[in-house]
Amino acid sequence: MTAAEVARQIGVRDTTIYDWLLGRARPAEPQRIAAFLDSLPRENGSGIAPTGYEYREYKNWRGIPRPRRCPFCKQAKGVIRRSRGGFSGVCPNCEARGPKRESWDEALRAWNGKG
């Protein structure tokens, strides 16, 4: 919906809508805007996520042990790899390496900072 269409439905000029959005002016009759917004059909979703929002799962809801994000670059999740003499956590982005451990589970706990 364009500003011209909104202005036509509210009964003002489209430049007035732009002035309101840019903060240059305040509406003289805010109840007209409220009535217009209430007349619009409801959209699906919560309506609180900003445009361009990238969802990141911060909490492991399923309880499956997974490597956390790299503590150095904070860009990629770590990967537990087999190395000489055991396993260690590695960042695929910056190649940072965690402590070497004998088992995959121990290396995962060490990469996540719990062991």
44-103 pLDDT tens trace: 665 555 556 555 555 666 677 788 888 888 888 889 999 888 999 899 888 888 888 999
pLDDT of residue 58: 59
pLDDT of residue 46: 58
Examine the pLDDT at 8 and tell me if it is beyond 70.
yes
pLDDT of residue 87: 92
Q: Using an 8 Å Cβ cutoff, are 115 and 109 in contact?
A: yes
Is 44 contained in some domain?
no
Distance CA 21, CA 63 (A): 45
10: left (phi over 0), alpha (psi -120 to 50) or beta: alpha
pLDDT of residue 45: 62
* Structural domain of 100: 65-115
Is 54 contained in some domain?
no
Query: How many structural domains compose the chain?
Result: 2
Is 75 contained in some domain?
yes
Q: Is the pTM of this model over 0.85?
A: no
Angle in degrees, CA 56, 49, 67, rounded to 5: 5
Examine the pLDDT at 33 and tell me if it is beyond 80.
yes
Q: Using an 8 Å Cβ cutoff, are 71 and 113 in contact?
A: yes
pLDDT of residue 51: 58
Angle in degrees, CA 22, 28, 33, rounded to 5: 75
